[in-house]
């Protein structure tokens, strides 16, 4: 299982010569793709998650009776 008779080699290995390769220009690579900031999650899932948090924090505020210290802690938690 661990005894592979083939030696490990790089197929496209280039010996190091001390020189850096030429920089690739932006024109050669083409236009950049836009960045996805929604983590590939549909909008309905985001709405459901935010609504769940809103219901949760409203329930905690109601359960604590709205005391000053509790509201302060809840606001810190929301932030």
Contact 74, 60 (CB under 8 A): yes
The whole-number pLDDT of residue 59 equals: 92
Residue 13 lies in a domain: no
Distance CA 15, CA 50 (A): 54
Residue 47 lies in a domain: yes
User: Which has the closest alpha carbon to 66: 79, 53, 75, 77?
Assistant: 75
Residue 55 lies in a domain: yes
Distance CA 48, CA 37 (A): 18
Residue 59 lies in a domain: yes
Residue 23 lies in a domain: no
What mean pLDDT comes out for the span 9-23?
A: 59
Instruction: Label residue 50 by pLDDT band (50, 70, 90).
Output: very high
Structural domain containing residue 49: 41-78
**pLDDT of residue 72 exceeding 80:** yes
**pLDDT of residue 58 exceeding 80:** yes
How many folded domains does the chain comprise? 1
pLDDT in tens, 30-48: 677 777 666 778 889 989 9
Residue 56 lies in a domain: yes
Residue 12 lies in a domain: no
Residue 61 lies in a domain: yes
């Amino acid at each position: 299982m661990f005894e592979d008779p083939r030696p490990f080699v790089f197929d496209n290995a280039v010996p190091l010569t001390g020189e850096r390769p030429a920089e690739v220009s932006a024109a050669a690579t083409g236009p950049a793709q836009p960045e996805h900031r929604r983590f590939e999650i549909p909008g309905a899932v985001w709405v459901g998650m935010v609504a769940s948090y809103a219901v949760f924090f409203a329930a905690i505020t109601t359960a604590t009776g709205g005391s000053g210290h509790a509201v302060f802690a809840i606001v810190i938690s929301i932030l």
